[in-house]
Amino acid sequence: MAPEDGPGEPAPPAGPEADEAGAPEHRVAGSPRAVAANAAVLALTRAARSFTLYDPSNKVVRTLIADYRDKLRHALDTFGPLDLDVHPFELLLGREVVYVERDRERSLAFRLFRDGVRRLSFAPTATWEELLRLLQILSIRYTGVRQQEDDLVTLLRKAGFDGIRISAIEGFLPEEEHAEPDLGDLLRGTTEHRDPPARWDLPLPSFPEAVPLRYRPVDPALLERLASEESEEAVPALAVRAVAELLHAPDDGDPEAALGFALEAREFLLVEQRGDLLRELSGSVRAALAPQPDAASAFLETFLDSRTLGVMIETLPPDEPGALEELALLLAAVPGDMTGRLLGLLQEEGEGPRRDTVRRLLVRGFRNAPESLVERLRGAKGDLAVVLLRLLCDVDPGAGRRAALGITAESDVSMQREALRHLESAAFGPEVARALHHLLGSPHAQIRELALPVMAARGGPRVFAALQHHVEKHGAALAEAEARAAGRALAHSSARSAIDLFEAWVRPKGGILGRLGRVGAPLPIQQVALAGLESIGGAEAESLLAVLAERGQDDVALRAAAVLDSRHRGTGGQNG
């Protein structure tokens, strides 16, 4: 595991700034090609080292191998060949450092350099079989204890790669294997070495008080407890405990190394989906860095990326409100744009199970600064604007209603639908009437259909003239669904005014030809009148329905006749 997936992690120091930047980090920054190569190399080293910790069939190993495949393939397909120059502790792509690790036990660069490899090149034609074979070779060198097997150069050349090439020189053995004599001893000529005579301390003396060896059976409960300490299920908790112990080490400890290990532990806990331990790990880091609040905030901003937040929120226990409170306090201590990350999660979640939890965290974050939410809403569009408007209504209902009135003039269908949802319960007044009028002129038919009944219900007789104007202005182009919604809205707004309007539309003109001819109004207008008359009872409405049944266009006439027949049968049943 390596701390390579958190965005924004610091680049390795170079030049005179090294002392100020601290110890080298595993992440590097640079051109997009260098960043992609860095991600691929880190995925390779992490997958190779995983065999030292896990059984090859473990799901963590499978996940890391898949990550190595995807990232290396992405780098090759996007940027072409990768030629990596090997230095003792670094890998370079041209003039850019794409990998750095000073720890000899962990460093891929050191193992390659020690065995003589000076350049490792990947061609875009490299097959998955070749990449997998390279991973197997590197894992052998990581897991070997005495390294008695062939060196890397031999293993790589035996593999017969086509898409992977190496450039190598004669390797050298590490100093620990064959230590050279001290330079001062060479100059003084005192390098002669004498070994004691063979078998000088043998034979071993005999001990007359020998005691027979006895065995005692171990209680099964103790054996089970011992086995559980080394089980895979215990590893996540052990990783968190190890980080805490390193962070609270004596003054001569290495806090930067401990924080690096904390990032590695985070990657492992993300794979294991252990949000509870991620929260515990965050708390340990925050407590250990309490005397250095700036360092704590900077580290937690990197630590709490969107992936980590998602897993921590997803695993929050629903019956423990204290866990949500603890997470909210942790996020409040981070100076970065935590609300931005949470907004991204909320938008991505949609109607998912984490929605309510993320919403509560955002409401807490914006409660003391609703103006920042209003500012975000001004430039937002689409689904993001809907999310922000709902949050604003939770944080400040008054500001939410004002924002809903403002976005009715927008042309986005999702924003208009959300604004209409808020207007359904708003007290009617000039501003609400103006907003509903904006929605009635929407370019989206579905918004107009939804706005018509809301306008009639909220405005009553006061909006009848506006509804009539809308119908008469667009009458020839109204679709059937909108025409029916308009007819019902007119009837709901003022039944008396609607009867008079419908009569003017459907009654034939004077004279014998007018009485015998068809209704002169266009088909959409007839559909408006029919839908309105269906909503109104009484003899006048039935008289106009009879006109439509007799002289209306075919579909309207059939529907009007069916409505009349239904009413007459209902009346007859009641009289009987």
Rounding to the nearest 10 degrees, give the CA dihedral for residues 408, 413, 414, 415: -20
Q: For residues 488-507, give the mean pLDDT.
A: 86
The band of 576, judged by pLDDT with boundaries at 50, 70 and 90, is: very low
Please check the confidence at residue 135 and state whether its pLDDT lies above 80: yes
Q: For residue 115, give the 3-state DSSP assignment.
A: coil
The continuous run of DSSP H or E covering 238 comes out as helix 235-247
Q: For residues 446-460, give the mean pLDDT.
A: 84
pLDDT of amino acid 183: 54
392-405 burial string, b = 16+ CB within 10 Å, else e? bbbbbeebbbebbb
The band of 337, judged by pLDDT with boundaries at 50, 70 and 90, is: low
Backbone angles phi, psi at 82, to 5 degrees: -115, 115
pLDDT tens digits, residue range 515-568? 555 667 788 888 888 888 888 888 888 888 888 888 888 788 888 888 888 888
pLDDT of amino acid 191: 53
Specify the amino acid at residue 74. H
- List % helix, strand, coil for the chain (3-state, nearest 5): 65, 5, 30
461 preceded by a cis bond (ω within 30 of 0): no
Which one, of 115, 55, 118, lies nearest residue 83 by Cα? 118
Please check the confidence at residue 506 and state whether its pLDDT lies above 90: no
Q: For residues 135-162, give the mean pLDDT.
A: 73
Separation of alpha carbons 281 and 188, rounded Å: 56
484-520 burial string, b = 16+ CB within 10 Å, else e? bbbbbbbbbbbbebbbebbeebbbeeeeeeeeeeebe
pLDDT of amino acid 514: 47
- Every domain of the chain and the residues it spans: 15-175
Which residue blocks in 333-443 are alpha helix, DSSP H? 338-349, 355-366, 370-378, 382-395, 397-406, 413-423, 430-440
pLDDT of amino acid 71: 92
Please check the confidence at residue 419 and state whether its pLDDT lies above 80: no
Tell me the pLDDT of the chain averaged across its residues: 75
pLDDT of amino acid 572: 47
Q: For residues 219-232, give the mean pLDDT.
A: 79
pLDDT of amino acid 29: 58
Contact status, residue 452 vs residue 440, Cβ threshold 8 Å: yes
Separation of alpha carbons 369 and 122, rounded Å: 52
- Residue, of 432 and 172, whose pLDDT is higher: 432
Separation of alpha carbons 562 and 566, rounded Å: 6
CA angle 146, 148, 154 (to 5 degrees): 130
Please check the confidence at residue 393 and state whether its pLDDT lies above 90: no
Residues in a beta bridge with 489: none
- Interacting residues of 505 by C-beta distance below 8 A, sequence separation 6+: 519, 521, 525, 526, 528, 529
| Residue pointed to by tokens 């509903």 | 436
- Residue, of 255 and 196, whose pLDDT is higher: 255
Contact status, residue 537 vs residue 571, Cβ threshold 8 Å: no
Rg value, the chain, Cα: 39
pLDDT tens digits, residue range 55-110? 677 788 888 888 999 999 999 999 999 999 999 889 999 889 999 988 888 888 88
Per the document, the length of the chain is 576
Q: For residues 392-413, give the mean pLDDT.
A: 72
Structure tokens at 401: 């209603």
C-alpha distance from residue 556 to each of 368, 474, 496 (Å): 58, 19, 22
Q: pTM here?
A: 0.47
Which one, of 357, 350, 360, lies nearest residue 314 by Cα? 357
pLDDT tens digits, residue range 258-308? 888 888 888 888 888 887 888 888 888 877 777 777 777 777 777 777 788
